[in-house]
Amino acid sequence: MSAPVVRIHGSISEIEAAAWDGLLAAQAAPSPFMRHAYLDALEQSDSAAPESGWSPRFLTLWRGRELLAACPMYLKAHSYGEYVFDWAWANAYQQHGLAYYPKALVAVPFTPVPGTRLLARDADSRALLVQALVAWCKEEGLSSLHLLFGADEDIAACAEAGLMLRHTVQFHWTSHETWTDFDAFLASLSHDKRKKIRQERRKVHEAGVRFRWSRGANITEADWDFFYRCYARTYREHGNPPYLKPEFFGRMAEDMPEAWLLFVAERAGKPIASSLIALSADASVAYGRYWGALERVDCLHFEACYYQPLAWCIEHGVQRFEGGAQGEHKMARALMPVKTTSAHWLAHPAFADAVERFLEREDEGIANYLDHLEGRSPFRHPG
């Protein structure tokens, strides 16, 4: 059998959406963020584009007209929007007179959500995809290749190919069959955690704030516009422009409305804050993504980003709620630590050796951190 043909695409629009999404649907850990429409919206809105330091280089493997494997890849001119931090590596290269950028990144821009990154028909195709990625990086003379927040099968293929693994910690909530409503969920927590959550929710309620939610096509254009005002303000309050452009969310409303759930906080009939949640295709997983507020209310962030979404998840049978990158405070809201993994290849042998030693030490620290967190369970009966 002939070897697959490797193709590099300067845009996901060069790949048929049905072929890409069909391959995604066959994976063990698909997410809405890997859908053709999502990645295309990032490009077409100029959110992830060469002007912002993200140059698309999608890689595909073909046998005849059959798409065997594919992945989103970007040439990066910086390390913003990744959530796996390699600034120290870049600085070390610079100090030795070497160029770290551009580097190759296999990831979903601005999206620290674990899941499939290497779309493949089977394990052999996935292994060939990793080999093709490394070979292309060598041909282009790139400093490095990084696959972020991969699924287990992605990480296994990368490890088999000799890439170095790096671990980080996120916090996810998992449903329990006995939690028939939010009060039942609270009853499973320790007295202190239960009391704190009730106090926080009471503060928001006594401030006169009420919430409503909309899903899919029921999210109005006015709601999307209000959400973006909130989202952009959150970034600007921290001195940064928002990663995602208004046009991106316009594409989401048009092309992927079923993937979104919006909570809007109102006071005296006036919207003051919002949080946007993504949903998996079967609505079994919810992903906390973005939030913002135009007015300050004590504990409003916790209500909008955790308590309202968790109550909705329980009511609608959602099995898992992922709270995004970092945030040890999430444990107090019953989001438990989960280890996530990325894979890395560095072209320079000496730097690769140094990074490998660093990762070994870092991995020991992550293991100790997870052990420490295990002893801080918010539940009445850990285990």
pLDDT at residue 331 greater than cutoff 70 = yes
Beta pairing partners, 212: 264
pLDDT at residue 382 greater than cutoff 70 = no
Specify the pLDDT at position 176: 95
Cα–Cα distances (Å) from 83 to 71, 110, 237, in that order, read 19, 8, 20
Cα–Cα distances (Å) from 37 to 8, 26, 32, 47, 247, in that order, read 19, 17, 9, 14, 13
Note the pLDDT tens digit of each residue in 289-310.
999 999 999 999 999 999 999 9
Burial 296-309 (b: 16+ CB within 10 A, else e): ebebbbbbbbbbbb
Percent of residues, the chain, with pLDDT higher than 90: 95
Specify the pLDDT at position 272: 98
Residue 123: CA count within 13 A, CB half-sphere = 7
β-strand pairing of 103-106 with 144-147 = parallel
Task: Compute the average pLDDT of residues 323-345.
Answer: 92
Q: Where are the domains of the chain?
A: 5-170+338-374, 176-318
Q: Given phi > 0 = left and psi -120 to 50 = alpha, else beta, which region is 120?
A: beta
Q: Return the C-alpha torsion angle 318, 320, 324, 326, nearest 10.
A: 150
State in Å, rounded, how far the first CA of the chain is from the last one.
Answer: 50
pLDDT at residue 86 greater than cutoff 50 = yes
What is the Cα–Cα distance from 120 to 122, expressed in whole angstroms? 5
* Predicted model pTM: 0.96
In which band, very low, low, confident or very high, does the pLDDT at 324 lie, cut at 50, 70 and 90?
confident
Strand ranges, E, within the chain? 5-9, 54-56, 58-63, 66-71, 73-76, 103-106, 119-120, 144-147, 164-174, 209-215, 260-267, 270-279, 285-293, 320-325, 336-346
Shared fold status for 5-170+338-374 and 176-318: yes
Note the pLDDT tens digit of each residue in 124-152.
999 999 999 999 999 999 999 999 999 99
Closest CA to 14 of 34, 33, 39: 39
Specify the pLDDT at position 326: 75
Beta pairing partners, 214: 262
Task: Compute the average pLDDT of residues 215-225.
Answer: 98
**What CATH number was assigned to the domain covering residues 176-318?**
3.40.630.30
pLDDT at residue 383 greater than cutoff 70 = no
Specify the pLDDT at position 49: 94
Specify the pLDDT at position 325: 78
What is the Cα–Cα distance from 112 to 84, expressed in whole angstroms? 8
Q: Are 211 and 266 in contact (CB under 8 A)?
A: yes
Note the pLDDT tens digit of each residue in 240-288.
999 999 999 999 999 999 999 999 999 999 999 999 999 999 999 999 9
3-state secondary structure of 33: helix
Q: Are 353 and 344 in contact (CB under 8 A)?
A: no
Specify the pLDDT at position 3: 86
pLDDT at residue 189 greater than cutoff 50 = yes
Choices 2.160.10.10, 3.50.50.60, 3.40.630.30, 3.10.290.10: CATH for 5-170+338-374:
3.40.630.30
In which band, very low, low, confident or very high, does the pLDDT at 156 lie, cut at 50, 70 and 90?
very high
DSSP annotation of 4: P
